[in-house]
Structure 1
Amino acid sequence: MSEPVPPLPGSARGKLPHVPAAFFGIVLGLAALANLWRVGHALWGLPGLIGETLFAGAAFAWVVVALLYAAKWWIAPDVARQEAEHAVQCCFIGLGGVTTLLIAQGALPYSRAVAIALFTLGSAFTLAFGLWRTGRLWRGRRAPEATTPILYLPTVAGGFVAGTTAAALGWSDWGQLAFGAAFFSWLAIESVLLHRLYTADEMPPLLRPTLGIQLAPPAVGAVCYLAVGGGAGDLLGHALIGYALLQALLLLRMARWIGAAPFAASYWAFTFGGVAFATAVAKIDLVAPTPAIALLAPILFAGANLLVLAIAIGTLCLLLGGRLLPSTVPVGPPKTTGS
């Protein structure tokens, strides 16, 4: 087995904070909520300004996190390199591309040229990182305790968001290819993850919030499927919603066990999937309502807003208390291998 990765300091030398790549999850949650409010504006006539303000906030957070994360490679390359080698933390780096794609969606109504530029940048980074990371995983020697839902981030989250963004730009054929890459990656990775959850040791408390990502594949996949498939709420669309509902109920059932660790920024892992779930249901309700969808849509909309609001307040409290940046990585599973 390879040697364990030493803890990563939240701030080592220099005046700038050493922001972990996981902080891109904050951008995911805000951008997803902005998309939900855009759909809510079309569906229920809710104030459009709220969605646009949320996108502005998401764009600001994206710029701040991206600049601070890039600065870490300049002022503390050893720390950044350790994160990239960490078997759990490394996958969060892929969110840099995913968040860029989401900001492209937000920019599209204002500037197609800017949206295309961001889409090109985000999709290129997502593809490159996904290939690099997956190639390392294929080399094996990965400890079971290092297997968490973060494995979805490079290819599954990246593929679904790239497909949705491509469809928004009018390139549904490319979006369908991205959907296929993400969909089948999800099925393969989920089998590995469930085997770990069923057979390996109990996940340590500080890693349990990553289970919030478990809701994202069916929820974000449903949003992508609706986008690349013309928005029809057909059998597959409803099936994805059904599986997302099952995952949401499982997370609620296990909330006490998952929440054994103190609140941290890692709880943003719950927001992307939770908000995407509400968005997919609202989109179906907009174009092809059914009694079940019409019942779920407002409940999930309210729940998604409360979820993001609660986690945002908790994050603000951590920031004001000087406890937002982690002093160490949650656990130190084996390093990744290969190159």
Structure 2
Amino acid sequence: MDNSNGTNNHAPMPVAFFGIGVGLLALAGAWRAAARVWTMIPGAVPALLTATALVVWVALLVAYGRKWLVERDAAVAEMRHPVQSSFAALVPVSAMLAAQAVQTYSRGLAIALFVIGAASSLALGVYLQGRFWQGGRKPELTTPAIYLPTVAPSFVAGTAAAGLGFTQIGMLFFGAGVFSWLAIESIVLHRAAVHEPLPEALRPSLGIQLAPPVVGGVSYLAITHGAPDTFAYMLLGYGLYQALMLARLVPWIRQSTFTPSYWAFSFGAAALPTMAIRMLERGATGPMVWIAPVAFVVANVVIGLMIAGTVRAMVRGNLLPAATPALPANVTPIKVAGLR
């Protein structure tokens, strides 16, 4: 939005906004799974949600592409930032979720999106993960966002690859995701336990903590066959535990006003019912009969609130973070664009 002087008083779109596209595409995937299991759901509903999610995703791609063309310095600075840069992984993740969304309509397009997403996620993941090995990272800048360059793309690539019939490739990606997740989680928990609490602006990033077990669970179900086994139940169980922990932390995480940073919760929130529904589809019984519908309803409520908050912020003109003066190269701000 322009101010009265005609100058732009908002920063360009943060790459973290791709969390909106990821959340919507994941929710559409949950509805597609639900429509296969619960026949009372009209097929038009998941189709409409999928189309809407794809439109939002394309709009984000256009806005982010414009950022690199018109505001390149801001885009480069974002990629150099130790926190913001991790969210760049959401771009290839969203591409691979889009591949799953269009697979029914065009296998060729789905394969193209998968190849682009998988290749770019590997390149970006190796680049960003390489920074960790070089040391010097400050503990206060370690958040669950560090899952994004390696864990999220690996699990989503595993699911997409298996869905396209490339099961062995999916297994390779799943393995990369599992062991990256286990290594990184210990770092995140250690930082949370022994260092200063996360600043308010970064606390919503804890929503990412829900995603690894359930996004990984969806991937595991994609590369396996038959009734869900013990490991599948273990992944879902840990995902449910993480959901309870985050519910307990909501009063501490919650900020005074809605910001797009809350979309960090959306991927895990949508993947949890997706996993439970797919377990039902594969013959799970017992607690899964009620866990799946309850999780599905909760996910729709949670993401519905995020959608409402985002629309409200757009109407008020404060969706984008306020522009801030450039800082010297040796200064690392804690306040993160898109994670106010």
TM-score, normalised with respect to structure 2:
0.92
Q: CA deviation at 1:71?
A: 1.1
Establish whether residue 186 from structure 1 lines up as the match of residue 187 from structure 2. no
Establish whether residue 161 from structure 1 lines up as the match of residue 168 from structure 2. no
Q: 1:113 aligns to what?
A: 108
CA distance in 2, matches of 1:207, 1:251: 14
Establish whether residue 200 from structure 1 lines up as the match of residue 201 from structure 2. no
SS of the residue 1:332 aligns to: coil
Q: 2:117 aligns to what?
A: 122
Q: Please list every run of at least 4 consecutive aligned residues from structure 1 whose deviation after the TM superposition is greater than 4 angstroms.
A: 12-17
CA distance in 1, matches of 2:10, 2:207: 29
CA distance in 2, matches of 1:65, 1:255: 28
Structure 2: runs of 5+ lacking an equivalent = 1-5, 325-331
Q: 1:263 aligns to what?
A: 258
Q: CA deviation at 1:17?
A: 7.0
**Matched length:** 323
Distance 1:190 1:244, change over 3 A: same
The superposition leaves residues 59-82 of structure 1 with CA deviations (integer Å, 9 ceiling, x where unpaired) of: 111111111111111111111111
Aligned counterparts, 1:1-339, within 5 A: 18-45=12-39, 46-230=41-225, 232-327=227-322, 332-333=333-334
Query: Taking CA–CA contacts closer than 8 Å with sequence separation of 6 or more, which of the two structures ends up with the larger relative contact order?
Result: 1
CA distance in 1, matches of 2:321, 2:32: 33
CA distance in 2, matches of 1:105, 1:16: 34
Structure 1: runs of 5+ lacking an equivalent = 1-11
Structure 1 letter corresponding to 2:333 = G
Structure 2 letter corresponding to 1:287 = R
CA distance in 2, matches of 1:152, 1:328: 27
CA distance in 1, matches of 2:300, 2:312: 18
Distance 1:328 1:229, change over 3 A: farther
TM-score, normalised with respect to structure 1:
0.92
Contact 1:144 1:196 in 2 (8 A): yes
Distance 1:162 1:231, change over 3 A: farther
Farther-moved stretch of structure 1 (42-51 vs 204-213): 42-51
Contact 2:11 2:323 in 1 (8 A): no
Structure 2 letter corresponding to 1:79 = A
Farther-moved stretch of structure 1 (97-106 vs 77-86): 77-86
Q: CA deviation at 1:53?
A: 1.1
CA distance in 1, matches of 2:309, 2:24: 14
Q: CA deviation at 1:260?
A: 3.2
CA distance in 2, matches of 1:13, 1:325: 15
Contact 2:11 2:322 in 1 (8 A): no
Structure 1 letter corresponding to 2:24 = L
Q: CA deviation at 1:230?
A: 2.2
SS of the residue 2:52 aligns to: helix
Contact 2:83 2:145 in 1 (8 A): yes
SS of the residue 2:149 aligns to: helix
Contact 1:143 1:334 in 2 (8 A): no
CA RMSD of aligned residues (A): 1.9
Farther-moved stretch of structure 1 (284-293 vs 169-178): 284-293
The superposition leaves residues 241-263 of structure 1 with CA deviations (integer Å, 9 ceiling, x where unpaired) of: 00000000000011100103521
Q: CA deviation at 1:232?
A: 3.6
Contact 2:10 2:322 in 1 (8 A): no
CA distance in 2, matches of 1:99, 1:135: 22
Contact 1:39 1:279 in 2 (8 A): yes
